[in-house]
Structure 1
Amino acid sequence: MRGLDKVVPDPAAAVAGIPDGASLAVGGFGLCGNPMELIRALLAQGTSGLSVVSNNCGVDDWGLGLLLDAGRIVKMTSSYVGENKEFERRFLAGELEVELTPQGTLAEKLRAGGAGIAAFFTRTGVGTQVAEGGLPRRYDGAGGVAVASPPKEVRTFDGKPYVLEEAITCDVALVHARRGDRAGNLVFHASARNFNPLAAMAGRLCVAEVEELVETGDIPPDDVHLPGVFVHRVVEVGTDVEKRIERRTAREG
């Protein structure tokens, strides 16, 4: 089993070697399941010029928002701007390229990349700028569009139009899991599972932070959510890592 030991000593070692200009697939949905310790380590390492694929970009002071605020991200491929005011400001000011992608399509593009599928056809986006092109990807800072999305192939199957979407693969994936073993088998907790397995599959190098590290064989095979074949580095961050939510709501009474 020693040859399967993928554990590294700390988050800094986990992200070591990720170069400037790398493309990243990052797990999380809102602030749920964000690989915060890896994001902090990447920030401390000084890596810049990043193209990031993630459901959203955190908030101004948490999640991927930390990298964005430091000017380390040059492109985001995501489903929505969310609660991040700096994301909105940079996009409209022409400082950030953004490829907005329907959420289910984004999930499938990552899954397809991990499964070795080059592209797929979907009904989502047919008849809109998603298929026809023209969605702003970069503004010029004066209200005009500097870069717009290109048109995509549309083909008819069984009398219905479908748009062609290409798969996504990235240089590196950063994910957060509740539990992992030394061989990289991962278990995610509840809704923190979200985009994490998909991001992991799409990364040519996958780095996983886990709250609890166990020995290989301690996780029953049927309980594994992501097999270790997709994971290359594992770092334990403890169960007391800070977790945030975007908006806390409570029901009266």
Structure 2
Amino acid sequence: MDKTVATAAEAVGDITDGSSLAVGGFGMCGVPTVLIAALLEQGARDLETISNNLGVDGFGLGTLLSAGRIRRTIGSYIGNNKEFARQYLAGDIEVELTPQGTLAERLRAGGSGIPAFYTPAGVGTLVAEGGLPWRYAPDGSVAVLSPPKEVRTFDGADYVLERALAPDFALVHAWKGDRHGNLVYRRSARNFNPDAAAAGRFTIAQVEHLVEPGEIDADDVHTPGIHVERVLHVPDVDKPIEFRTVC
């Protein structure tokens, strides 16, 4: 089955108001920027995003954030995005902060059909005990607090129960993909992309290099095509450097 689409608008056309979506990327690396830009143009609102961070000001998910299109986000990092911090403190967005490894495992579990799992990360903190400010009120008071989570003891150690994530959609960036949706990620751009791709109920991939079925060795496939519904070829996608270091 040929899953390629001709335009980014067609790729994201089914995302509706209120949709939840996992988005690959880490900082500015491996971010599906073309799909995000198309979603900005498409106009869907009240979105719930699942991503390590919300991009940076004016880039990636940061563009949807600045346009006021994200209602809630689950992620690990607010820093390096002034608009994200401003909206959070002003009560314009609800933020469920999650330890980074836990976030990856919640996505992986969702893609594997596992409803929940126990982890030691967060035991003895507000992550497990509840009380993290998810949303502030305009006056600066806390409007929504995180709830407490179940904690159980296994072999003498405590573990907190975390729920899996299985969002409506996933947007991912891959280095190479074929028309059947098999994907290959390159180096650090792999980051959250495989977990997001598997977790989404409807996954849309932008790929730098589009090849024919059979041209990717089965042993090289990171995301099998069974997880992917649409493929968009983006041969000239811009990949900026977040922090340039000169030695």
**Shorter-chain TM-score tier:** over 0.9
Aligned-partner Cα distance in 2 for 1:113–1:23: 13
Match in the other structure for 2:6: 9
Structure 1: 5+ residue runs without aligned partners?
none
Q: 1:186 aligns with which of 183, 188, 191?
A: 183
SS of equivalent residue, structure 1 residue 248: coil
SS of equivalent residue, structure 1 residue 170: coil
Aligned-partner Cα distance in 2 for 1:227–1:206: 12
Aligned-partner Cα distance in 2 for 1:76–1:83: 16
Aligned-partner Cα distance in 2 for 1:119–1:233: 28
Match in the other structure for 2:237: 241
CA shift for structure 1 position 142: 2.0
Q: Among the aligned pairs, what percent are the same residue? A: 64
CA shift for structure 1 position 31: 0.6
CA shift for structure 1 position 129: 0.1
Matched, 1:141 2:162: no
Q: What pairs up with 1:1-253 in 2 under 5 angstroms?
A: 4-238=1-235, 240-251=236-247
Aligned-partner Cα distance in 1 for 2:2–2:79: 38
Letter aligned with residue 242 of structure 1: D
Letter aligned with residue 233 of structure 1: R
CA displacement, residues 133-154 of structure 1 (integer Å, 9 cap, x when unaligned): 0000000122211000000000
CA shift for structure 1 position 164: 0.2
- 1:83, 1:246 within 8 Å by CA — same for their partners in 2? no
- 1:152, 1:164 within 8 Å by CA — same for their partners in 2? yes
CA shift for structure 1 position 82: 2.5
Give 4+ residue runs of structure 1 displaced > 6 Å after superposition.
none
Aligned-partner Cα distance in 2 for 1:158–1:244: 47
* Root mean square deviation of aligned Cα: 0.6
CA shift for structure 1 position 80: 0.9
CA shift for structure 1 position 155: 0.1
CA shift for structure 1 position 99: 0.2
Aligned-partner Cα distance in 2 for 1:206–1:103: 22
CA shift for structure 1 position 17: 1.5
Letter aligned with residue 69 of structure 2: R
- 1:57, 1:82 within 8 Å by CA — same for their partners in 2? no
Letter aligned with residue 114 of structure 2: I
Aligned-partner Cα distance in 2 for 1:233–1:122: 33
Structure 2: 5+ residue runs without aligned partners?
none
CA shift for structure 1 position 248: 1.6
Letter aligned with residue 184 of structure 2: V
